[in-house]
């Protein structure tokens, strides 16, 4: 396992460097800049602001300065070595160009727990609904109940989360006023946006669970367990469920990424101050450092989740071995 983790760490370094490099130069290719749209800004003031944030430097020099930990200034490549080190390599994501009283680290530290909590609620909805529907459908194949579950899963996949959110608001806010329409802070604020975010993923999980369980239930070792007289419930929980959920486990990595990035629309609809809303606002406002910071954050989360999924395989199915080389 140590060899596997070391190899993953090496690929993580390469992947992060590629993501940072490509994102950095693509952002600089977009017309305009963080301060080009400011009103009543004279060319002299704009030049001073650009100089403060080093936006008047060549792009390659801005890139090296962003990476760090080199100190770069107008006097050369290495600049004034008496200045404190900074840059992404030291964990410093820089100042936000638009939220000028905050650094990118501050913005992420304040908004990430909210997005993570929303994601966890959505994940619980998705797993609870999806696995339950998939199990029922697999245990009663080719029946009316199976058909109903598959139709519901198809509808869940087809409907975007903002349509589900609008339906929930109309039903449970205006017609049956049980939940607040917007905001964050209590359990009631979490349930509707969490369900709207997790329902489409529950539909995918239901289909994956049904397919996985049907395949496992047809295996010889399941027939042997049943022939020995083991109760059906024990066969299902102890022998069939682990193998049947392997497709769901493999889906958890990309699903987590989708939930985090797809929460943008839900956060906008329900006025939730999460990381997703900051990401789009940063892209629209050319807030380079904030957009880069959130991009790096999502890269780390996706890569970390995929690694955890690979590790979980070995616990669910002992026949699967991690590659050490």
Q: Are residues 139 and 245 in the same domain?
A: yes
Q: Are residues 205 and 143 in the same domain?
A: yes
Q: Please report whether residue 219 resides in a domain.
A: yes
Q: Please report whether residue 283 resides in a domain.
A: yes
Q: Are residues 34 and 145 in the same domain?
A: no
Q: Are residues 59 and 133 in the same domain?
A: no
Q: CA separation (Å) from 144 to 148, 150, 174, 224, 298? A: 6, 10, 34, 29, 41
Q: Please report whether residue 286 resides in a domain.
A: yes
Q: Is the pLDDT of residue 79 over 50?
A: no
Q: Are residues 177 and 259 in the same domain?
A: yes
> 219-247: per-residue pLDDT in tens?
888 788 878 787 877 777 777 887 788 88
pTM: 0.75
Q: Are residues 297 and 157 in the same domain?
A: yes
Q: Phi first, then psi: what are they for 95, rounded to 5°?
A: -80, 150
Q: Please report whether residue 305 resides in a domain.
A: yes
Domain residue limits at 17: 12-90
Asked if 96 and 103 count as a contact pair (C-beta separation under 8 A), the reply is yes
Q: Phi first, then psi: what are they for 171, rounded to 5°?
A: -75, -50
Separation of alpha carbons 299 and 16, rounded Å:
7
Q: Is the pLDDT of residue 110 over 60?
A: yes
Q: Please report whether residue 99 resides in a domain.
A: no
Q: Is the pLDDT of residue 25 over 60?
A: yes
The DSSP line for 182-205 is S--SSHHHHHHHHHHHHHHHHHHH
Q: Please report whether residue 83 resides in a domain.
A: yes
Asked if 210 and 288 count as a contact pair (C-beta separation under 8 A), the reply is no
Q: What is the pLDDT of residue 89?
A: 83
Q: Are residues 63 and 164 in the same domain?
A: no
Q: Are residues 116 and 265 in the same domain?
A: yes
Q: Please report whether residue 322 resides in a domain.
A: no
Instruction: Tell the residue number behind the tokens 């690929």, with chain if given.
Output: 11
In the listed set 64, 90, 116, which residue is the last one of a domain according to the structure? 90
Q: Are residues 187 and 281 in the same domain?
A: yes
Would you tell me how many other CB atoms lie within 10 Å of the CB of residue 119?
25
Q: Please report whether residue 101 resides in a domain.
A: no
Residues forming a β-bridge with 73: 76
Residue bearing the bigger pLDDT, 33 or 199: 199
Q: Are residues 23 and 145 in the same domain?
A: no
Q: Are residues 28 and 126 in the same domain?
A: no
Q: Are residues 78 and 118 in the same domain?
A: no
Separation of alpha carbons 17 and 236, rounded Å:
45
The three-point CA angle 171-174-177 to 5° equals 85
> 171-181: per-residue pLDDT in tens?
999 999 999 88
> 40-72: per-residue pLDDT in tens?
667 777 778 777 777 888 888 888 888 876 655
Separation of alpha carbons 267 and 264, rounded Å:
5
Number of domains in the chain: 2
Q: What is the pLDDT of residue 32?
A: 73
Separation of alpha carbons 64 and 242, rounded Å:
48
Q: How confident is the model over 147-164, as a mean pLDDT?
A: 87
Asked if 34 and 98 count as a contact pair (C-beta separation under 8 A), the reply is yes
Q: Is the pLDDT of residue 22 over 90?
A: yes
Q: Which of 259, 279, 277 is nearest to 268 (CA)?
A: 277
Give 27's contacts (C-beta < 8 A, 6+ positions apart). Answer: 286, 288, 291, 292
């Amino acid at each position: 396992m140590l060899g596997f983790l070391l190899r993953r760490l090496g690929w993580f370094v390469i992947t992060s460097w590629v993501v940072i490099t490509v994102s950095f130069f693509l952002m600089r290719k977009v017309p305009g800049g963080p301060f080009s749209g400011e009103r009543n800004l004279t060319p002299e003031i704009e030049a001073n602001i650009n100089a403060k944030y080093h936006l008047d430097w060549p792009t390659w020099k801005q890139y090296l300065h962003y990476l760090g930990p080199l100190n770069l200034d107008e006097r050369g490549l290495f600049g004034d070595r008496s200045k404190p080190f900074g840059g992404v390599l030291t964990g410093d994501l820089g100042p936000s160009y638009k939220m000028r009283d905050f650094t990118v680290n501050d913005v992420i530290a304040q908004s990430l727990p909210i997005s993570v909590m929303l994601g966890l609620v959505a994940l619980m909805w998705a797993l609870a609904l999806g696995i339950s529907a998939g199990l029922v459908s697999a245990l009663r194949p080719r029946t009316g109940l199976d058909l109903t579950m598959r139709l519901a899963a198809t509808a869940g996949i087809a409907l975007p989360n903002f349509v589900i959110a609008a339906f929930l608001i109309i039903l449970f806010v205006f017609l049956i006023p049980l939940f607040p329409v917007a905001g964050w802070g209590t359990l009631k604020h979490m349930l509707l946006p969490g369900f709207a975010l997790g329902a489409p993923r529950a539909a995918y999980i239901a289909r994956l669970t049904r397919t996985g369980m049907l395949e496992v239930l047809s295996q010889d070792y399941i027939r042997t367990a049943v022939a020995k007289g083991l109760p059906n419930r024990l066969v299902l929980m102890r022998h069939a469920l682990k193998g049947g959920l392997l497709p769901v486990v493999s889906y958890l990595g990309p699903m987590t990424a989708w939930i985090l990035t797809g929460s943008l629309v839900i956060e906008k609809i329900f006025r939730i101050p999460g990381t997703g809303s900051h990401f789009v606002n940063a892209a629209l406002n050319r807030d380079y450092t904030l957009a880069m910071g959130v991009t790096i954050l999502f890269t780390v989360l996706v890569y970390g989740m995929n690694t955890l999924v690979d590790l979980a395989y070995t616990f669910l199915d002992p026949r699967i071995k991690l590659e050490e080389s």
